Amino acid sequence: DTEVTQTPKHLVMGMTNKKSLKCEQHMGHRAMYWYKQKAKKPPELMFVYSYEKLSINESVPSRFSPECPNSSLLNLHLHALQPEDSALYLCASSQWGAGGLGHEQYFGPGTRLTVT
């Protein structure tokens, strides 16, 4: 199984809502990532979990809160978002962290988020 799954596929939320994005992988990968991607732009790293511990937070606003309940699951909790947060949110996993073989990232299909 080389698949990363993400739910939901699409999400529309108001600025006062609280919602969560979910990501799951069963490849035994020990690093998991959240990226944000705007149209015609590259993926922009938000968070990295390595061995279920948060290892990188790219100065993401606190209205985005990541959680890694176990090695297969990654959540992104959303609260009080702004319209400019509308984007494709991609989850990815890799066997290990960066550096050396095994770093290739497997991306999920993403959640298309619209904040109204």
Partner 1 sequence: GQQVMQIPQYQHVQEGEDFTTYCNSSTTLSNIQWYKQRPGGHPVFLIQLVKSGEVKKQKRLTFQFGEAKKNSSLHITATQTTDVGTYFCAGARKTSYDKVIFGPGTSLSVIP
By CB under 8 A, name the binding residues for partner 1.
31, 40-45, 48, 50, 55-56, 90, 92, 97-101, 103-110
For partner 1, give the closer residue by CB, 45 or 80. Answer: 45
* Dihedral in degrees, nearest 10, Cα atoms 103, 111, 37, 78: -100
For partner 1, give the closer residue by CB, 87 or 90. Answer: 90
Name the β-bridge partners of 25.
Answer: 4
Residue 16 Cβ vs partner 1, minimum distance, rounded to whole Å: 29
Residue 79 Cβ vs partner 1, minimum distance, rounded to whole Å: 25
User: Residue length, the chain?
Assistant: 116
Residue 6 Cβ vs partner 1, minimum distance, rounded to whole Å: 9
Residue 55 Cβ vs partner 1, minimum distance, rounded to whole Å: 5
For partner 1, give the closer residue by CB, 16 or 101. Answer: 101
Does the bond joining 66 to the residue before it have cis omega, within 30 degrees of 0?
Answer: no
Q: Residue 51 in contact with residue 43, Cβ under 8 Å?
A: no
For partner 1, give the closer residue by CB, 45 or 73. Answer: 45
Q: Residue 109 in contact with residue 91, Cβ under 8 Å?
A: no
Task: Using the Cα atoms of residue 37, residue 17, residue 53 and residue 57 in order, give the sign of their dihedral.
Answer: positive
